[in-house]
């Protein structure tokens, strides 16, 4: 058997092929069956491998889809989380950062008091207190916008929205036909800015830096003083024309002159804007705002809100001011009767204290930092804008509404404004300030306040 085995192993390949061709049906059928079984097993293994590959591929695809979906969820959640954090941060900055915002609940309290038909004195008081933090926040938001618009445009925005409270109150009063309230509230804003705000800035700055006289750009003061004197001229002639009874057409010449003078004053203010923005930005009060980046701290150089946040909050605060202004204007006459106080005193003294909250805080803060040019730009620049833009603008708006709004501010108010402009111009002529000048301006404001406290406006009953 071993020999046969050796001879079998020694046969050439051809012999093996020949043996496979031996017509032995049993042997041939066995080999064919064996080959078929091998082929079937190979095919089955290939199918199992392909099935396994497909299964793995499907599971990998499903896993990839799950991972992608999870990543999308994480991405969306992260965006939502960042947005939620930004919203909460802006709410904290705008509503909870300043202590004066503790007065915000008085706004809803004014609406509740009005709906419950409480006394007008309470409605007026709650509205007054509720508008105070809103006016301050308007000034803060415009300062945030100044980081994105530049110092010059930012200064104009600060002056414009800093007076937004007075503008909204004036529009509501004008729509209700309370022309004297409009005139006296705007006049009170000018007096408050020039005497109280500027005087407080000079006083605090002088006390903080009592070893020297603070200096400011005298050319800026000269330009603004000239515009204020032009505004006095526009208010003086209609009043003199009325009280000297020298009108060509009684009752119509005064109104026509006021409308013509208002258009001229608006052109003058537009020229002033072009002058300070294009020709001589170094002479404008808002141009001094650029010094904040030179001498300020790093904290002052970084905005606390994004651009879209500042714009959105500015719209929200303006809407709330408009909402409370309606209650304030509607309750002023009733509050005057409840408190036994003249409407002229409430319009000239009380209302501007609310509207000038932002200017007051900014002017004092910059004066204490020895940035008197910015304080001067805030106080005097705001007075210039009210006298040269807001008053003529209200005349034009009243013209459109069919209301006889004119520049006849009566002799008492016009004389007060004229003397105030002269006093402030003399205080600013040397380009220096100290705490004594600030004290003088504050004492002058006390005299003006006492004068309006005992002043009775006989024309108020006609306009109401």
Q: What are phi and psi of 71, to 5 degrees?
A: -65, -40
Could you read off the pLDDT of 256-308 as tens digits, one per residue?
Answer: 999 999 999 999 998 988 887 776 655 554 443 344 434 444 444 678 888 88
Could you read off the pLDDT of 423-462 as tens digits, one per residue?
Answer: 999 999 888 898 999 999 999 999 999 999 998 876 544 4
pLDDT computed for residue 297 by the predictor: 43
Of 12-21, 145-154, 243-252, 384-393, the range with the lowest mean pLDDT is 12-21
Q: Which residues contact 333 (CB under 8 A, 6 or more apart)?
A: 120, 343, 464
pLDDT exceeds cutoff 70 at 341 = yes
Q: What is the C-alpha separation between 79 and 73, in angstroms, rounded?
A: 10
| Domain ranges across the chain | 2-82, 103-463
The pLDDT > 90 percentage for the chain reads 28
Domain 103-463 has CATH 1.20.1420.30: yes
Q: What is the C-alpha separation between 124 and 106, in angstroms, rounded?
A: 11
Query: With bands split at pLDDT 50, 70 and 90, how would you rate the model's confidence at 464?
Result: very low
Partners of 215 in the β-ladder: 432
If you average pLDDT over residues 155-174, what whole number do you get? 78
Of 67-81, 174-188, 260-274, 368-382, the range with the lowest mean pLDDT is 67-81
pLDDT exceeds cutoff 50 at 121 = yes
The answer to whether 197 touches 381, Cβ cutoff 8 Å, is no
Q: What is the C-alpha separation between 349 and 73, in angstroms, rounded?
A: 58
pLDDT computed for residue 48 by the predictor: 67
Decide which of 243 and 300 is more confident. 243
Question: Pairing state of beta strands 214-215 and 432-433?
Answer: antiparallel
Q: What is the C-alpha separation between 301 and 157, in angstroms, rounded?
A: 18
If you average pLDDT over residues 141-167, what whole number do you get? 72
pLDDT exceeds cutoff 70 at 75 = no
**Average pLDDT across the chain, whole number:** 79
Q: What is the C-alpha separation between 123 and 112, in angstroms, rounded?
A: 9
If you average pLDDT over residues 108-136, what whole number do you get? 89
Query: With bands split at pLDDT 50, 70 and 90, how would you rate the model's confidence at 73?
Result: low
Could you read off the pLDDT of 305-339 as tens digits, one per residue?
Answer: 888 888 888 888 888 888 888 888 889 989 988 88
Q: What is the pTM of this model?
A: 0.74
Alpha-carbon dihedral sign for residues 294, 215, 196, 464: negative
| CA gyration radius, the chain | 41
Query: With bands split at pLDDT 50, 70 and 90, how would you rate the model's confidence at 31?
Result: low
Q: Which two tokens stand for residue 392?
A: 């003529």
pLDDT computed for residue 151 by the predictor: 59
pLDDT computed for residue 6 by the predictor: 45
pLDDT exceeds cutoff 80 at 46 = no
pLDDT exceeds cutoff 90 at 49 = no
pLDDT computed for residue 42 by the predictor: 60
3-state SS record for the chain: CHHHHHHHHHCCHHHHHHHHCCCCHHHHHHHHHHHHHHHHHHHHHHHHHHHHHHHHHHHHHHHHHHHHHHHHHHHHHHHHHHHHHHHHHHHHHHHCCCHHHHHCCHHHHHHHHHHCCCCHHHHHHHHHHHHHHHHHHHHHHHHHHHHHHCHHHHHHHHHHHHCHHHHHHHHHHHHCCCHHHHHHHHHHHHHHHHHHHHHHHHHHHHHHCCCCCEECCHHHHHHHHHHHHHHHHHHHHHHHHHHCCCCCCCCCHHHHHHHHHHHHHHHHHHHHHHHHHHHCHHHCCHHHHHHHHHHCCHHHHCCCCCHHHHHHHHHHHHHHHHHHHHHHHHHHHHHHHHHCCCHHHHHHHHHHHHHCHHHHHHHHHHHHCCCHHHHHHHHHHHHHHHHHHHHHHHHHHHHHHCCCCCCCCHHHHHHHHHHHHHHHHHHHCCCEECHHHHHHHHHHHHHHHHHHHCCCCCCHHHHC
The answer to whether 332 touches 119, Cβ cutoff 8 Å, is no
Of 46-55, 159-168, 313-322, 406-415, the range with the lowest mean pLDDT is 46-55
Q: What is the C-alpha separation between 278 and 284, in angstroms, rounded?
A: 11
**Nearest 10 degrees: Cα torsion 383, 386, 388, 394:** -170
């Amino acid at each position: 058997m071993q020999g046969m085995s050796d001879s079998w192993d020694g046969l050439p390949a051809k012999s093996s092929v020949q043996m496979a061709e031996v017509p032995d049906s049993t042997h041939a059928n066995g080999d064919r069956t064996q080959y078929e079984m091998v082929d079937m097993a190979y095919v089955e293994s290939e199918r199992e491998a392909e099935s396994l590959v497909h299964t793995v591929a499907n599971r990998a695809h499903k896993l990839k889809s799950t991972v992608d979906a999870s990543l999308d969820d994480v991405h969306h959640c992260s965006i939502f989380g960042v947005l939620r954090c930004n919203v909460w941060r802006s709410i904290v900055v705008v509503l909870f950062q300043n202590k004066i915002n503790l007065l915000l609940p008085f706004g809803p309290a004014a609406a509740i008091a009005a709906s419950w038909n409480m006394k007008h004195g309470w409605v007026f008081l709650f509205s007054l207190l509720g508008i105070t933090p809103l006016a301050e926040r308007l000034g803060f938001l415009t300062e945030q916008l100044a980081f994105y618009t530049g110092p010059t445009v930012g200064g104009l925005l600060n002056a414009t929205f800093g007076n937004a409270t007075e503008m909204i109150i004036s529009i509501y009063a004008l729509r209700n036909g309370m022309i004297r309230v409009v005139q006296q509230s705007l006049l009170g804003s000018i007096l408050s800015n020039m005497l109280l705000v500027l005087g407080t800035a000079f006083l605090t700055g002088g006390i903080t830096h009592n070893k020297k006289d603070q200096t400011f750009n005298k050319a800026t003061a000269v330009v603004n003083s000239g515009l204020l004197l032009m505004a006095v001229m526009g208010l003086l002639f209609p009043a003199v024309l009325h009280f000297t009874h020298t009108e060509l057409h009684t009752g119509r010449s005064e109104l026509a002159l006021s409308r013509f003078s208002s258009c001229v004053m608006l052109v003058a203010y537009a020229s002033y804007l072009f002058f300070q923005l294009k020709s001589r930005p170094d002479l404008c009060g808002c141009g001094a705002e650029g010094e904040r980046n030179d001498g300020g701290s790093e904290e002052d150089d970084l905005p606390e809100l994004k651009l879209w946040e500042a714009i959105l909050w500015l719209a929200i605060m303006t809407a709330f001011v408009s909402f409370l202004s309606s209650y304030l204007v509607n309750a002023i006459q009733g509050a005057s009767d409840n408190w036994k106080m003249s409407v002229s005193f409430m319009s000239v003294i009380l209302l501007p204290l609310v509207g000038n909250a932002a200017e007051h805080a900014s002017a004092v803060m910059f004066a204490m930092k020895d940035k008197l040019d910015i304080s001067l730009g805030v106080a005097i620049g705001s007075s210039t804008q009210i006298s040269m833009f807001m008053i003529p603008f209200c005349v034009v708006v009243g013209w459109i509404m069919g209301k006889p709004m004119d520049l006849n501010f009566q002799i008492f108010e016009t004389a007060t404004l004229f003397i105030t402009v002269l006093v402030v111009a003399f205080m600013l002529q040397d380009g220096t300030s100290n705490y004594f000048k600030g004290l003088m301006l504050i004492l002058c404001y006390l005299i003006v306040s006492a004068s309006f406290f005992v002043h009775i406006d006989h024309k108020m009953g006609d306009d109401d």
